[in-house]
Amino acid sequence: MSFQDLTLADALTVVDGMRQWDRRVVAAMLGDVGDEAFAVSRWQTDGPAWAVHQDGRPVALGGVSFQNDWAAVCWLIATDEITPQTWRKLARHARKVLANATSPAHEHYRHRVEAYTLGGWDAAAKFAQRFGFAHEGVRRGAGSGGEDLHMWAIVGPVKEKKCRQAM
């Protein structure tokens, strides 16, 4: 099992074989986007993104997408092929990436890091809670098919802004 920087080939492979729940989330959040377009969007994430390889084959993708200088969104997609042992290692890796994104001392610090889960997917909600995300609320009917989307966030101290001096 290994972690590698995300490649387009890895993104295409995992998106093609993603779990049904992941596919439902993508459809709810993005509508009728094709697999190739979605894979390219993950590969082009503005922020750290990685692929998890198991037995030489990519089985999961994850990342932190920087929305701006102060906020980011965590994302994760997996195939049904991922084993419990790989899930445990993936969780350890994701904790490290998340710790960097939420540490004021890190260069990629964002004071707000978000995650979204689909209503009814209890396993995803538990996963977000285990990573320290606080449930902020439900965006009722916000999905493309009327699905409820749950909002989760980790919020830390605001970055100190460097003020420009008046000319």
pLDDT at 160: 73
pLDDT per position as a tens digit, 135-158: 999 999 998 999 999 999 999 999
pLDDT above 70 (res 163) = no
Instruction: DSSP letter for 152, please.
Output: E
Question: Residue 89 burial (CB < 10 Å; 0-12/13-18/19+)?
Answer: middle
| pLDDT tier for residue 167 given thresholds of 50, 70 and 90 | very low
pLDDT per position as a tens digit, 4-13: 999 999 999 9
pLDDT per position as a tens digit, 124-140: 999 999 999 999 999 99
All domains in the chain, ordered by first residue:
2-155 (3.40.630.30)
pLDDT per position as a tens digit, 51-75: 999 999 999 999 999 999 999 999 9
Q: Where are the alpha helices (DSSP H) in 17-119?
A: 20-30, 35-43, 84-101
pLDDT at 159: 77
| pLDDT tier for residue 119 given thresholds of 50, 70 and 90 | very high
| pLDDT tier for residue 104 given thresholds of 50, 70 and 90 | very high
pTM: 0.86
